[in-house]
Amino acid sequence: MSAGFLLVLSGPSGSGKGTVSEAIMKKNKEIVYSTSVTTRRSRPGEVSGQNYFFVSKEEFEEMVEKDELLEHAFVHTNYYGTPKKFVFDEIEKGEIVLLEIDVQGALQIKKKYKEAIFIFLIPPTMEELKNRLIKRDTETEEEINTRYKNAFRELNFVGEYDYFVVNDKVDEAVTDIENIIAAEKLRVKRHKDIKSEVLKEKRN
């Protein structure tokens, strides 16, 4: 069995991280989704414990103080973080953990946990990204403008990632990510003893 690993998917707000992650999870039951903690208000249809763990600012600060987060960041007026115990427990079991986070969080993880695989999701055009932010109708005009401006800044960090995927059509973006996962599962370093595995097959 290949060793588990952490797959970090991030990109600008409006790039479609949530939609792509959801599609990947529906098609690949063996992938475990890592639920983040946030202080932002829940959007219509979101469920605490599934989409995010929605907590107060005080509760979040307590988690930071107790070093219970793999990463945390202040993004668009709210705090976000990743519970570390869940991630490492699943990787130890040999699972692939999908973590959908912002660029700030991804860069923190890269400093602390270089074994993770990093994918940067980008929109086909910045105009399309702006349209997506407007169409989802979950932020104020001021919040939309803030996210749009931040997107240009976040694009500067694409060089820090292992892969980039253009999210023009969701199914094509999902296929690209599935191909990345398939390649990563075949890395020699994820198999403790390939020779023994091969010889065992021959004996059987």
Helix (H, G, I), strand (E, B) or coil at 121: strand
Beta bridge partners of 82: 71
How much is the average pLDDT of 109-129?
92
- The reported pTM is 0.81
State which fold the 5-35+95-203 domain adopts: Rossmann fold (3.40.50)
**pLDDT tens digits along 124-151:** 999 999 999 999 888 888 989 999 999 9
Instruction: State phi, psi for 168 to the nearest 5 degrees.
Output: -90, -55
How much is the average pLDDT of 33-51?
88
Q: Provide the total of helices (H) and of strands (E) in the chain, helices listed first.
A: 8, 9
**pLDDT tens digits along 73-89:** 887 789 999 989 889 99
DSSP string, 130-188: HHHHHHT--S-HHHHHHHHHHHHHHGGGGGGSSEEEE-SSHHHHHHHHHHHHHHHHT-G
> Domain spans of the chain?
5-35+95-203
d(CA 7, CA 200): 30
User: Which pair of structure tokens corresponds to residue 133?
Assistant: 């932010």
Q: With bands split at pLDDT 50, 70 and 90, how would you rate the model's confidence at 32? A: very high
Q: With bands split at pLDDT 50, 70 and 90, how would you rate the model's confidence at 98? A: very high
